[in-house]
Amino acid sequence: MSIHSHAGLPARAQDRINIGRLVSDYYVNTPDVNIIEQRVSFGTSGHRGSSFNKSFNELHIMAICQAISEYRGQQKFEGPMYIGKDTHALSEPAFSSALCVLIANGVPVVIQDDERYTPTPVISRLIINHNRENSTQADGLIITPSHNPPADGGIKYNPPHGGPAEGDITKQIEQRANDIISNGMLDVKQVTLIEAMESPLLTHEDFIAHYVNDLEKVVDIDAIKKANVRIGADPLGGSGLDYWPAIAKHYKLDITVVNDVVDGSFSFMPLDKDGKIRMDCSSPYAMSGLIAMKDDFDIAVGNDPDFDRHGIVTPTGGLMNPNHYLAVAIHYLMTHRDWKEDTKIGKTLVSSSLIDRVATLVNRPLSEVPVGFKWFVDGLHDSSYGFGGEESAGASFLCRDGSCWTTDKDGFIMNLLAAEILAVTGKDPYQYYLSLVEKFGEAHYGRVEAVANLAQKKVLTALTTEAITATMLAGEDITQILTHATGNNAAIGGLKVVTENGWFAARPSGTEDIYKIYAESFTDKDHLDLIIKEAQSIVSSAFEAAGL
Active-site positions? 146
Three-state secondary-structure class, residue 337:
coil
Which residues, in sequence order, are CB contacts of 7 under 8 Å at separation 6+?
A: 270, 271, 272, 273, 274, 275, 285
Type and span of the H or E element at 430: helix 429-440
First to last CA, the chain: 25
- CB contact at 8 A, 404 and 377: no
- CB contact at 8 A, 57 and 25: yes
Residue 125 to residue 272: CA distance in whole angstroms:
31
- Type of residue numbered 434: L
- CB contact at 8 A, 80 and 133: no
**Range list of β-strands (E), 225-309:** 230-234, 254-257, 299-303
Q: 265: closest CA among 93, 87, 10, 94?
A: 87
Residue 158 to residue 141: CA distance in whole angstroms:
6
**112 DSSP β-pair partners:** 205
- CB contact at 8 A, 173 and 160: no
Three-state secondary-structure class, residue 260:
coil
- CB contact at 8 A, 94 and 101: no
Residue 252 to residue 483: CA distance in whole angstroms:
49
Query: What is the DSSP-derived secondary structure letter of residue 545?
Result: H
Residue 392 to residue 131: CA distance in whole angstroms:
29
Residue 259 to residue 233: CA distance in whole angstroms:
8
Residue 539 to residue 472: CA distance in whole angstroms:
14
Angstrom distances, CA of residue 95 to CA of 100, 120, 260, 451:
9, 14, 22, 37
